[in-house]
Structure 1
Amino acid sequence: MDVRLVLCLLWALLATASARPSSCYHSIPGESNAVRSCSSGADSCIAVQEANSFGGVVNTGVLQLCTNSLISLEGDLDFEFGGGVYVRVHSEICRETNCNTGEIKERPKISTVPNGRQCPSCFAPGSHRCLHNVTLHCQGAANQCVDVVGTLSENYVEIPFAARGCATQDVAKIKAGDILVSGVFTYRIKSIQLSPAPRTEIEDGF
Structure 2
Amino acid sequence: MQTLLGLFTCLVLVTTGNSLECEVCSALGTSCTGSTQTCEAGKDTCIITMSEHTLVGYTMQMIDKGCASSNVCKHGPKYMDFGQGKQLRSIVTCCVGEACRTAAPQLPLTITKPNGKRCPACYTSSPGACKDEETVACVGPQQSCLDLAVTVTYGTIVVNTAQKGCVSKSVCDDLRRNETNVFGVRSVVTKAECKAPLTQAVLGFLFFAVFLSRGTSLECEICTGIGSSCTGMMKSCDAGQDTCAVTFTEVSLAGTTTQSVVKNCEFSSVCNLPPTYMNVGQGQYVKSHIACCMGDDCKTAFPQFPPAMDKPNGKRCPACYSFFFGGCEAEMVDCVGIEDYCLDMVEKVTYGKFTINIIMKGCVSKPVCAAKVGEVTVAGAHSDITKAECTPASVAA
Structure 2 distance, partners of 1:28, 1:161, is 22
- Tell me the C-alpha RMSD between the 2 structures: 3.5
The reply on whether 1:90 has 2:88 as its aligned counterpart is: no
Match of 1:134 in 2: 134
Matched with 2:119 is 119
In the TM superposition, what is the alpha-carbon distance from 1:199 to its structure 2 partner? 1.6
In structure 2, relative to structure 1, the CA distance for the partners of 1:43 and 1:127 (3 Å cut) is same
Change (3 A) 1:161 1:120: same
- The offset of 1:63, in angstroms, is 0.5
Q: What secondary structure is seen at the aligned counterpart in 2 of 1:148?
A: strand
Shift of 1:28: 2.1
**Residue equivalent to 1:103:** 103
5+ long unaligned stretches in structure 2: 1-16, 208-277, 280-363, 365-397
Alpha carbons of structure 1 residues 154 and 60: separation in structure 2 relative to 1, 3 Å:
farther
1:24 aligns with 2:22: yes
Superposition TM-score, scaled by structure 1 size? 0.71
**Pairwise CA distance, 1:46:** 1.0
Q: Give the Cα separation in 2 of the matches to 1:34 and 1:122.
A: 35
Q: What amino acid sits opposite 2:27 in the alignment?
A: P
The answer for unaligned runs of 5 or more in structure 1 is 1-18
- Rounded to whole Å, the distance in 2 between the matches of 1:110 and 1:141 is 11
SS of residue in 1 equivalent to 2:171: helix
Number of the residue aligned with 1:14: none
Kept in 1, the 8 Å contact 2:119–2:137? The answer is: yes
| Greater RCO, CA 8 A, separation 6+ | 1
SS of residue matched to 1:63: strand
Question: Given the two structures, how large is their TM-score scaled by the length of structure 2?
Answer: 0.40
How far apart are the structure 2 equivalents of 1:81 and 1:143? 14
Q: CA deviation at 1:35?
A: 5.3
Please name the residue that 1:13 is paired with: none
Q: Give matches, 1:22-171, under 5 Å.
A: 22-29=20-27, 33-34=33-34, 36-41=36-41, 42-69=43-70, 74-94=75-95, 96-127=96-127, 130-152=130-152, 159-171=159-171
- Cα gap change, 1:135 to 1:127, in 2 (>3 Å): closer
How far the C-alpha of 1:162 sits from its partner, in A, is: 0.7
Q: Is the 8 A contact 1:128 1:160 kept in 2?
A: no
Quickly say closer, same or farther: Cα 1:34–1:148, change in 2 above 3 A.
closer
Secondary structure of the 1:108 match is: coil
Q: Is the 8 A contact 1:21 1:45 kept in 2?
A: no
Structure 1 distance, partners of 2:153, 2:110, is: 25
1:59-97 C-alpha deviation (Å, 9 max, x unpaired)? 211011233447999432321010001122222334x33
CA distance in structure 1 between the partners assigned to 2:198 and 2:58 by the alignment: 30
* 1:128-149 CA-partner distances (Å, limit 9, x unpaired): 6624531211111112111111
Would the alpha carbon gap of residues 22 and 164 (structure 1) be closer, same or farther in structure 2, given more than 3 Å must change? closer
* Residue identity in the other structure for 2:88: V
Is the Cα contact below 8 Å between 2:91 and 2:108 reproduced in 1?
no
**Matched AA of 1:113:** K
Q: CA deviation at 1:109?
A: 2.2
Aligned residues of 2:22 and 2:39 also touching (Cα < 8 A): no
Aligned pair count? 185
